[in-house]
Amino acid sequence: LQFKKLEIHKVFLRFLNFNLEQNLSPLILADLTDACYMRYFMNNNIAKLLNEQINKELYSAYLYLDIANYYDSLDLDGYANYYMIQAQEERDHALLFMKYMQNNGLKVTLEAIGKPDKSFDSVLAPLEVAAEHERYVTALINAIYHEAHEAKDYRTMKFLDWFVDEQMEEEENADKMISRYKLFGDDPKGLYLLDQE
């Protein structure tokens, strides 16, 4: 390891156009070597927001499971299955945030997941709840992005780019679920066909 560190060092110093023997004391050399091995510095507030987002994504999964249960109770198996898949995607989002934190040497703290507290009284109601929820998640992602931008944390901005695109899709799909229901869902045969898709 020491040899490897020294090799990295030589490359580093060559880059700076230093003469290894003449210009640097062993002490400075040791400091610079450690600097090569330092973890990526991340602003504490950004780390906190990333950790919170794990919880928010898991809550999203929980909310979609609740919606799937509601549709299952109406025997709308297609809608139920759609929200089961959404729940799986939200869990994957949580894992992406967790992995990003792990990869950057940040401590992950898992908190209690909130209880889904929406009650549904129509086929349309969960669709509207889901669309509203996705807009809320977009706002959360944007808030983290804003902090990363302020802190010139380019790595986190790049990581969040995927989520910015993903939220555009999530909102578009949620809105489409509503508009299609409004077009066809009032008619029993229309609803049957929507559920088959």
Binding site for Mg ion (CB under 5 A): 57, 90, 93
All residues at 6 or more sequence positions from 162 whose CB lies less than 8 Å from its CB, including other chains? 96
In the complex, the smallest distance separating the C-beta of residue 113 from Mg ion, rounded to whole angstroms, is: 14
Q: Where are the alpha helices (DSSP H) in the chain?
A: 2-15, 20-23, 26-36, 44-73, 77-103, 124-150, 154-180, 188-196
Q: How far apart are CA 65 and CA 138, in angstroms?
A: 20
**Spacing of C-alpha 56 from chain mean position:** 9
Nearer to Mg ion (CB atom), residue 33 or residue 55: 55
Nearer to Mg ion (CB atom), residue 10 or residue 99: 99
Nearer to Mg ion (CB atom), residue 24 or residue 89: 89
Q: Which residue has the tokens 């400091």?
A: 31
In the complex, the smallest distance separating the C-beta of residue 121 from Mg ion, rounded to whole angstroms, is: 26
Nearer to Mg ion (CB atom), residue 57 or residue 147: 57
In the complex, the smallest distance separating the C-beta of residue 134 from Mg ion, rounded to whole angstroms, is: 8
Amino acid symbol at 90: E
Kindly list the distances between the CA atom of residue 144 and the CA atoms of 46, 153, 174, 181, in Å, as whole numbers in the listed order. 7, 11, 22, 33
In the complex, the smallest distance separating the C-beta of residue 55 from Mg ion, rounded to whole angstroms, is: 12
Q: How far apart are CA 82 and CA 112, in angstroms?
A: 25
Residue facing Mg ion at closest CB distance: 93
Nearer to Mg ion (CB atom), residue 9 or residue 93: 93
Q: In 3-state terms, what secondary structure has residue 133?
A: helix
Among residues 89, 92, 86, which one has the least CA distance to residue 68?
Answer: 86
Nearer to Mg ion (CB atom), residue 9 or residue 56: 56
In the complex, the smallest distance separating the C-beta of residue 99 from Mg ion, rounded to whole angstroms, is: 15
In the complex, the smallest distance separating the C-beta of residue 64 from Mg ion, rounded to whole angstroms, is: 10
